[in-house]
Amino acid sequence: MASPPVISSVSPAAGSPGGGTLVTLTGNTFTQITVVRFGEMLASSFTVVSATRITAVAPPGSGTVQITVTGPGGTSNGVAYSYVSAPCPVLTSVSPGQGPLGGGNTVTLSGSGLTGVLAVAFGSTPAVPFTVVSATQITAVAPPGAAGPVQITVTGPGGTSNGVTYFYVGVPTLTGASPATGSASGGTTVALTGTNLLGATAVRFGSTPTSSFTVVSATQITAVAPPGSGTAQITVVTPGGTSNGISYTYVAAPVLTGLSPAEGPVTPGTTVTLFGSGLTTTSSVLFGTTPAPFTVVSDTWVTAIAPAGPAGPVNVTVTTPGGTSNSVVYTRVAAPGI
């Protein structure tokens, strides 16, 4: 024969005479409960959450009644529930309005009639602990939840409040950074791709936060790299937590030490060898403002085809992800007149 259910507690233990208060019953042997009564009245609705928990909506009533539940094993003991005339609490806002799936963050609820609040719920999940700060403010620790919106409500002797929306946000992830290298002096704009990036509050290169970033979408952020050295892990912080890291390498600016030959004709086609360091990732070679075809031979050696230009000296520079080099002088010599 099945054992009768047992109720050990009810929260809140009071509510509005008009009914509508959401109460949580704890106990045991709740799995097959078929009836929940407030005195002689049936609960407006109820949900068997587990073998030890039921949520029920109180019907209208007055005075103090005994809540009981009935299942295959019979009817439980009763626990006292009081109908109290009091204003129904009202919620106007929650701050912050989002947080991690694992909960644990403190939110502030604002509204009115909050003095006698006995329970705070995120959806159907109670928030424990919570603190009634004043008639207009409550702080509560968010419980764990599933990704997406949930309605926060508070319950007092006057009933259960309206809901305010709170979003559970997944932990952000990063899948790419482009470019993945940049100047040691900072300033490179990096496009970060990933998931759950909305609401980002910080982007860090190693331990250094960027001073400028833009959340483009839930899957993309652009950020301006701060100064740094070596390889740093880029991370993003959102209300959902801190992302994994993705590597970003700081590159020193290239240096030119010389070129050969140092002069040539005003016509194009002379092959010029540039010597220096940090040349492996060269992306352009300029003779003044004119780009030149080039070939990277090694980290210390680049060859370029001098473009046409007027007679006289011209500054030659190379550019890499680390920046633009110092300049070395190439002189164009006009052909002798006849």
- All structural domains of the chain: 6-83 (2.60.40.10), 90-169 (2.60.40.10), 173-251 (2.60.40.10), 255-333 (2.60.40.10)
Residue 272 has pLDDT above 80, yes or no: yes
Confidence band (pLDDT; 50, 70, 90) for 337? low
Mean pLDDT of 205-214: 96
pLDDT digits (tens, 9 = 90+) for 215-253: 999 999 999 999 999 999 999 999 999 999 999 999 989
Give the bridge partners for 151, in sequence order. 165
Mean pLDDT of 67-95: 93
- Percent of the chain residues topping a pLDDT of 90: 86
Residues 6+ apart with CB under 8 A from 276: 254, 255, 256, 257, 258, 300, 318, 325
- The mean of the pLDDT values for the chain is 94
CA-CA distance, 307 to 288, in Å (whole number)? 10
How much is the pLDDT for 156? 84
CA-CA distance, 221 to 177, in Å (whole number)? 10
What residue type is assigned to position 19 of the chain? G
Confidence band (pLDDT; 50, 70, 90) for 338? low
Mean pLDDT of 208-215: 96
Residue 59 has pLDDT above 90, yes or no: yes
Range ranked top by mean pLDDT from 12-16, 99-103, 300-304:
300-304
CA-CA distance, 142 to 71, in Å (whole number)? 33
The closest alpha carbon to 12, from 106, 136, 118, 100, belongs to 118
Pair 152, 193: CB distance under 8 Å = no
Neighbours of 263 (CB within 10 A): 14
Measured at the CA of 124, the angle between CA 19 and CA 52, to 5 degrees, comes to 95
How much is the pLDDT for 22? 87
Confidence band (pLDDT; 50, 70, 90) for 61? very high
Residues 6+ apart with CB under 8 A from 338: none
Mean pLDDT of 63-71: 96
- Please give the residue that has the higher pLDDT: either 204 or 183: 204
Confidence band (pLDDT; 50, 70, 90) for 12? confident
Residue 261 has pLDDT above 90, yes or no: yes
Model pTM above 0.85: no
Residue 321 has pLDDT above 90, yes or no: no
